[in-house]
Structure 1
Amino acid sequence: MKSYSVKEISEKLNGELVGFTSHNIFSPEQLELANNDQISFIGNKKYEKLWADSKASVAVVNTDIAIEPGDNRAFIKVANADLAMSKVLELFAPAPPAFDNEIHGTAVIHETAVIGEGTKIGAGCYVGPNVKIGNNTTVYPNATILDESTIGNNTIIWSGAVIRERCHIGSYCIIHPNATIGADGFGFRPCPQQGLAKIPQIGNVVIGNGVEIGANSCVDRGKFSSTIVGDGCKIDNLVQIGHNSVLGKFCIMAGNSGLAGSVTLGNGVIIGGSASIKDHTTIGNGATVGAGSGVTGDIPAGKVMLGYPAVEARTALKQWAMLKRMAENK
């Protein structure tokens, strides 16, 4: 098991050590559950009250902490406890699943596929014709990468993920289990003969660098061009990104949210959980859509929107307060 002294952890975080503990630290844990050989963190002042009853011997804290660590306990003060704690988690992270061979004998790899140096491909994977995979990429068992797709360097494709034909994924990406990249967009039109005629979806998906796509999420291919997910975007589990949508850089979409077709997100847009965005809508740089909201029209840059249908946050809060007063006065 990995263990560190509090001094070693503080040095790795470039933090200020306040207090001292003789305990070696074997793992991180939340305040309420921690033991004296574990490290926790206090990322918000409202949680300071939990420290007295916690058994953790060390906590990563913000510099404005208002309490003392106590006997045989220590604080590591940093500018941002949340970011520092991510480094602590990296220190204690277990090794990823191991590969006995770089290419498992049961993987099916087409003779025209190009596999980069150091890339690992697990059991039961399928890699189709003219696929190109960069260096040091990991494809876990039972993933599928279809014809003419490309994947960059140092990307991780987890088990059950499907990368359909002609889709392109950049470097340093993570595609989580059972995510689907490049399924058909949802295109149908009323037809006297068929009831509903399927509109062929002949485009693809282009995913930038440093993108993470959560488990069971879907990024649909474009109808006749590309659905684009920009560099650094982080997509949660169970998210739907409709055909021909374009996401700028560093967008965040929380679980169960969805974009209909041809939605455009600027850079740094945040979409809360279970929010839904109408087709052909544009959301400007840095805008935020609150959880459960329904967006039916364009949103200017920097706006915060709440409600169903979504309105500016201040307006929504006023409306909710008025409704509450009306209900109380009945």
Structure 2
Amino acid sequence: MAAIVTAEGLRKSFARRGSASPPVLDGLDLELGEGEVLALLGPNGAGKTTTVRILSTLLRPDAGRATVGGYDVVRDARRVREIISLTGQQAAVDDKLSGAENLTMMGNLAHLPRRVVRDRVDELLTAFDLTAAAGRRVGTWSGGMRRRLDLASGLLTRPRIMFLDEPTTGLDPRSRLALWDVVRGVVADGTSVFLTTQYLEEADRLARRVALVDGGRVVAEGGPARLKREVGEAGVELVLASAPDAARVAAGLASATVDGARVRVPTDGSVGHVRSVLAAVEATGVTPEHWEVRAPSLDDVFLALTGHTGRARPASSAGVAA
């Protein structure tokens, strides 16, 4: 897959002369393939927003080189701006205007022909499920609706690349799911998406590839499934009433490990294997207080490689033995 965004050795520091503060970016390399979603993950202060600001021409790097759509972000900044859109962490909409007026204003600022603006506004209001509220002042809208309007504004010119900097921060779960559907639709229409997020489940659901940045550099990159496999394997985890009970259960299970009153058995995740594990446990006569099938998540990748915890909870399937 051809790269539509590239960064090579990007460096950026905001420290004053003589300061000992480390650089925000310290030789960052990454690529966004055409037609894909790349999620940039990392702890606060890792350089995610700084990377977005450089790639969208809002900041100049101290060193290194970046291209967007084949254009250099420093030398060809104007050309880059013609093919991208940027949605920041706060919705950039005018509360005093209606939804339709907001989109019309943005279309006029982009110098689109009047008829094109009118048709495009109607199209986007329908696509983002905002038609019913189009005539109301945006100040009366919910946070999720305002976020959808912000994304719609960025699509008026049909950008080749969309930069989304933590677009769902502060949204409720329903609004977040609705925005995920919007992003999937944008990608299906041919736009490449560069996403930063602190919600690891969001990256897992949307991104074809993930780049984990820490200390100003990419420390891991690849598909979410591959990164999770590298951290560890799935397992059936059981919580017993006591350590002796755990030892008794583990004695009847192949490859089981014991940690106090907890027992873990590696699994391929199939229903058949999980059933066989539970049947072996039942045969011991000991009833677990709790059990779950737990697979590594992007939380585990994040923690293992950065030493920081993310916001999302690990994905698991849990149950209580009868």
TM-score, normalization by structure 1: 0.23
Larger fraction in strand: 1
Q: Which has the higher contact order (CA 8 A, sep 6+)?
A: 2
More helix by share: 2
